[in-house]
Structures are given as C-alpha cells and as structure tokens.
Structure 1
Amino acid sequence: MEYVYAALILNESGEEINEDNVTAVLDAAGVDVEESRVKALVAALEDIDIEEAVETAAAAPAPASGGSAGGEVETADEDEDEAGADEDEAEAEDDDEEEESGEGLGELFG
C-alpha cells in the first residue's frame, strides 16, 4: 500500500511519477524498496489519470446494508431474539467495509 501512497504523494505535489521519484519517497519513509514493485507501479499508472481515479473511487456508492426491504412484520419476541444477531451482522458488515475500502488501486499493485 505504501507504494500507492508514494504515487499519490507525488501526484499531489505535482511531481512526475517515475521510478526514481517513487523510490526516493519510499526511501524517505524508511520503506525497504522492492525495485520490481516500483517498476510495476510506474508501468500500471502510465496511462491512468490519478485525479479521475480518486474522484471515481470517492463517488462510488457505499455497499448496500443487509437489512430486509420486504416490509416484514415482526413480533416483540422475534425482535428480542434477532437483536443480538443484527448486532453481529452489523459488526461483520463494518469489518467487510473496512477490508473493501482499500480495494481498487490496492489490487492493482498486490
């Protein structure tokens, strides 16, 4: 992920995203740089408009929640039984959202 961050820093500062600049940013951050990953990153970003990619990612809709949309009527006993299950599902969804938030650019670079 730090490789992607280096590219974002370079883009934000108006610097060219090339192997030397990415390596310099990573070295400055104390990262043990793998030359092959730097080359892969630079090659992958060659034809990418980073600003557009960031805007697209920011505008992407949030994942749908797992609640029922059927208008079902539940009794008080069912509500008490399902309350614990609903909390567990909500926690699981939060974990899934945290894992998914780094997808996209992160998947491009391993």
Structure 2
Amino acid sequence: MEYIYAALLLHNAGKDINEENVKAVLSAAGTAADDARVKALVAALDGVDIEDAISKAAAAPVAVAAAPAAAPAAAVEEEAEEEEEKEDEEGGMAGLGALFG
C-alpha cells in the first residue's frame, strides 16, 4: 500500500512518478523499497490518468453505503463531548469549593 501512497504523494506534489522518485519517497518514510515492486508500480501507472482514476474511485457505490454508518458514530461522539463538558464543569466547581474550605 505504501507504494501507492508514494505515487499519490508524488502526483499531488506535481512530480514525475518514476522509480527514482518513488524510492526517494519510500526512503524518506523509512520503508525499504523493493526494486521489483517499484518497477511494477511505475509500469502499471504509465499512461494512467490518476485524476480520472481518483474521481471514479470516489464515486464508487461502496462510499455511498458507508455514509449512513457515519451518522450514528457522530451522535455517539456528540454525547461523549457533552459528558466531557459536564465533567469539566463539575471538576471546576469542586476545585473552587476547595479554595473556600
């Protein structure tokens, strides 16, 4: 997966996706680059319109199915934040009470 990420990072930065650049990104990330995998990646991406591939992947039905599942998680996060705010207020009041003994 890190090979794909390296290619996407290079694409986003406007750099050429070639063996040397992919190896440099992987090296900077602390990953040992396998020459065969780097060559295969560069060969596979030759002539591919990455922007088009990204837009097609973003419109995939899987992304639509995942959206409703996010709604309950957001509600749980809101409840947790509300509880934290209450605890912070209560904790602050207890601290003030200790000042006046």
Normalised TM-score (structure 1):
0.56
Aligned to 2:46: 46
Q: Which has the higher contact order (CA 8 A, sep 6+)?
A: 1
Alpha-carbon offset, residue 52 of structure 1 = 0.5
Aligned to 1:18: 18
Cα deviation digits, residues 50-104 of structure 1 (max 9, x gap) = 1110100001112897xxxxxxxxxxxxxxxxxxxxxxxxxxxxxxxxxxxxxxx
User: Residue 54 of structure 2 aligns to which amino acid in structure 1?
Assistant: V
**Greater helix percent: which structure?**
2
- Percent identity, please: 58
Alpha-carbon offset, residue 6 of structure 1 = 0.1
CA gap of 1:63–1:57, structure 2 versus 1, over 3 A, is closer
Normalised TM-score (structure 2):
0.61
The structure with the largest alpha-carbon Rg is 2
Q: Does 1:9 align with 2:21?
A: no
Residue ranges of structure 1 left out of the alignment (5+ in a row) = 66-110
Say what the alpha-carbon RMSD is for the aligned residues.
Answer: 1.8
